[in-house]
Amino acid sequence: EIFNLKFLLIFITFGILFRNFGKKFIDMLNFEFKNPTKIIFGKGEIAKISREIPKTEKILVLYGGGSIKTNGVYDQVQAALEGYNWEEFGGIPANPEYEVLLEALKIIKEKNITYMLAVGGGSVIDGVKFLSAAANYEGEPWDILKNGIRTEEGKGLPFASVLTLPATGSEMNSGAVVSRREIGQKLGMGGPGLFPQFSILDPEVIRSIPKKQIANGITDAYTHVLEQYMTVKTSATLQDRFAESILQTLQEIAPKMMEEEFDYDSAANFMWSCTMALNGLIQKGVISDWAIHGIGHELTAQFGIDHARTLAIIAPSHYRYNFEAKKEKLAQYAERVWNVTEGSTEEKALKGIEKMEAFFQSLGIKTKLSEYTENYQGTAEKIQEAFIARNWLAIGEKGIVKPEDAKKIVEMAY
Ligand code: NZQ
Ligand code: ZN
């Protein structure tokens, strides 16, 4: 009998070892998923604002530098708000500026605003998210950003959005990024209380977007998928395929979106891809990264480079620098997204990075820092110091990017 027990134990031990040896990936992570934003998608749907906001609300409509005044979006919003009690606040700049938002906060308090409607791209929607958090916050508003104070469910001032620029996914997520030029900072914030109540996505708004912003939108959404995909393999095969399908759709519509002629079907797929890239879905159960964004925000803060372009600068270097940690997934990306069938894992992975960089360049996006500024020397050290000062000692996938790694990644991107 003892012999049998020994045999059984050896059998079990080998069984466990064999199971783990055979496994090339880690288990799908546990997760919770709740996204309360209602999406209203399609032609002419801006009129539906009036179905969603009660007539009793005191509304503040917020927008950017004025594109909505010339492309007909403002007129549609105005028509939908017929019979409402509403005010407006324009002039929120790209990379929403803290000082400007404080002016809006004053109006919210003075006029007892109960509901905000963001009409714009990521900058306007993010600005409104900051205001949603700040309106009910007792302390110094800057602390929300400086200390990353989260806004819990039911705590923010209610708001909705009419999206005019597909890119960030801000229309269906609860995060925001706000800049304070005075001190050269660009910081993130968020919390489950900061989802828009509803967002209207009418692809027709894309007609008036300059090609430069279309290219930015495609690049931003594409990198959002990469940040949640290009990490260690997990067994979350459905999420992988969601992610790959968004990448492929963006690649497919990109040439059409860059043409002069407006194509509604491409525009619709572009818009929905951008939303799906960052509404939380593809991130569930997998390990995310976000180091490209962390480093990229510093380039916007230092040089004012468009958000998406900072990502195209950093992504290829980030993947080359962290090649060992990411090569399996890079190879999968090359195979499934670009049909690279030849070569070893390493060869495919490298090919994947090349394809990615070429894709950004095909949109007219430059992928080296020196192509944006002559004053790039010293940037890497500055970013390293900023991360240390902020106590960002281990960012990215499993914290593999330490401040000195960030420095090297930026140097590779010169
Ligand atoms: O200000 P107006 O005159 O409206 O012009 C805007 C702006 O100059 C213009 N535009 C927008 N819709 C248009 C249009 N022009 C013509 N026709 C239209 N229909 O486009 C310019 C850029 O707008 P902006 O809102 O700044 O762009 P985007 O949507 O790319 O937002 C960028 C900001 O979002 C943050 C970025 O860091 C950056 O600050 N992000 C927000 C995220 C989030 N909340 O989840 C995630 C992203 O990773 C990102 O960090
Ligand atoms: Zn982004």
pLDDT over 60 at 394, yes or no: yes
Q: Whose CA is nearest to atom 38 of ligand 1?
A: 95
Contact 362, 375 (CB under 8 A): no
95 CA → ligand 2 middle, Å: 11
**CA atoms lying within 13 Å on the CB side of residue 284:** 12
Q: 105: CA distance to ligand 2 center in Å?
A: 25
Instruction: Check: CB of residue 56 under 8 Å from CB of residue 86.
Output: no
* Per-residue pLDDT tens digits for 399-411: 999 999 999 999 9
Residue 52's CB: how many other CB atoms inside 10 A? 14
**Stretch 223-241: mean pLDDT, rounded?**
96
Atom of ligand 1 nearest to the CA of 278: 45
CA atoms of 150 and 170, how far apart (whole Å): 16
* Residue 6 pLDDT greater than 80, yes or no: no
pTM, full prediction: 0.94
Number of H helices, E strands in the chain: 16, 8
Supply the pLDDT for residue 25.
Answer: 83
pLDDT at 198 over 60: yes
The one-letter code for the residue type at 173 is N
Q: Minimum-distance ligand to the CA of 123? A: 1
Q: Indicate the burial class of 410 (C-beta count within 10 angstroms; 0-12, 13-18, 19 or more).
A: buried
Answer whether residue 50 shows pLDDT above 90.
yes
Q: What tokens does 366 get?
A: 């430059």
And the tokens for 379? 């940037």
- pLDDT for the residue numbered 8: 66
Confidence band for 282, pLDDT divided at 50, 70 and 90 = very high
CA of 180 from ligand 1 middle (Å) equals 16
Task: Provide the H-helix boundaries in 111-210.
Answer: 122-135, 142-146
Report, as an integer, the average pLDDT of 53-77.
Answer: 97
* pLDDT at 127 > cutoff 60: yes
3-state secondary structure string across 325-391:
HHHHHHHHHHHHHHCCCCCCHHHHHHHHHHHHHHHHHHCCCCCCHHHCCCCCCCHHHHHHHHHHHCC
Which residue blocks in 38-170 are alpha helix, DSSP H? 49-52, 67-70, 73-80, 98-110, 122-135, 142-146
Least distant ligand from the CA of 76: 1
Question: Quick one: which ligand is closest to 71's CA?
Answer: 1
Q: What is the mean pLDDT of the chain?
A: 95
Average pLDDT over residues 34-47: 98
Longest CA–CA span in the chain (Å) reads 87
Half-sphere exposure of 344 (CA within 13 A, CB side): 3
Task: Let me know: does 247 contact 273? Beta carbons within 8 Å.
Answer: no
18: pLDDT strictly greater than 70: no
Of the candidates 203, 199, 272, 273, the residue with the CA atom closest to the CA atom of residue 38: 199
Atom nearest to 66 CA in ligand 1? 3
Lining residues, ligand 1, CB within 6 Å: 64-68, 71, 94-95, 120-124, 126, 164-165, 167-170, 173, 175-177, 205, 208-209, 213, 216, 220, 278, 293, 307
Measured between alpha carbons, how far is 345 from 332 in angstroms, rounded to an integer? 9
Give 186 Cα–ligand 1 centroid separation in angstroms.
15
Instruction: Give the C-alpha separation, 194 to 137, whole Å.
Output: 13
Q: For 95-105, what is the mean pLDDT? A: 98
